């Protein structure tokens, strides 16, 4: 009962993360939901395989998520400096 309960949790939070990623109007919330999705994938993987490989994979993904969050937030700050607004609706950057 405990095993399936935790899997339900991870599926539920994964769907919430995807929902927040698709329907968010500012970029910071999209990045937050992206970090949530990454974290949940590692959590469900570590929960399924109880060997050492799960731990190593989790450390790997944590480092990857840290690098990706740093790069994404720096891009976000430069976009905000250029355009004074971080709405995703206004992202017609290739339209000059």
Q: Is residue 31 a contact partner of residue 39, using CB atoms and an 8 Å limit?
A: no
> Which residue from 25, 83, 88, 90 is in contact with other proteins, where contact means CB under 8 A?
25
> Which residue from 83, 85, 88, 91 is in contact with other proteins, where contact means CB under 8 A?
85
Site string for other proteins, 28-57 (x = CB under 8 A): xx-xxx-xx--xx--x--xxxxxx--xx--
Distance of CA 12 to CAs 17, 37, 44, 70, Å?
A: 9, 11, 12, 27
> Which residue from 37, 45, 59, 95 is in contact with other proteins, where contact means CB under 8 A?
59
Nearest CB to other proteins, comparing residues 22 and 94: 22
Distance CA 74, CA 55 (A): 29
Residue 96 interacting with other proteins (CB under 8 A): no
| In the complex, least distance from residue 91 CB atom to other proteins, rounded to whole angstroms | 15
Residue 17 buriedness (CB in 10 A; 0-12 / 13-18 / 19+) = buried
């Amino acid at each position: 009962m405990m095993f399936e309960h935790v899997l339900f949790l991870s599926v539920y939070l994964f769907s919430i993360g995807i929902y927040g990623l698709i329907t968010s109007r500012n970029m910071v919330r999209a990045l937050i939901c992206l970090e949530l999705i990454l974290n949940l994938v590692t959590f469900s993987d570590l929960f399924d395989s109880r060997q050492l490989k799960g731990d190593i994979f989790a450390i790997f993904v944590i480092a990857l998520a840290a690098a990706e969050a740093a790069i994404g937030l720096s891009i976000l700050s430069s976009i905000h400096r250029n355009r004074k607004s971080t709405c995703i609706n206004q992202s017609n950057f290739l339209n000059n």
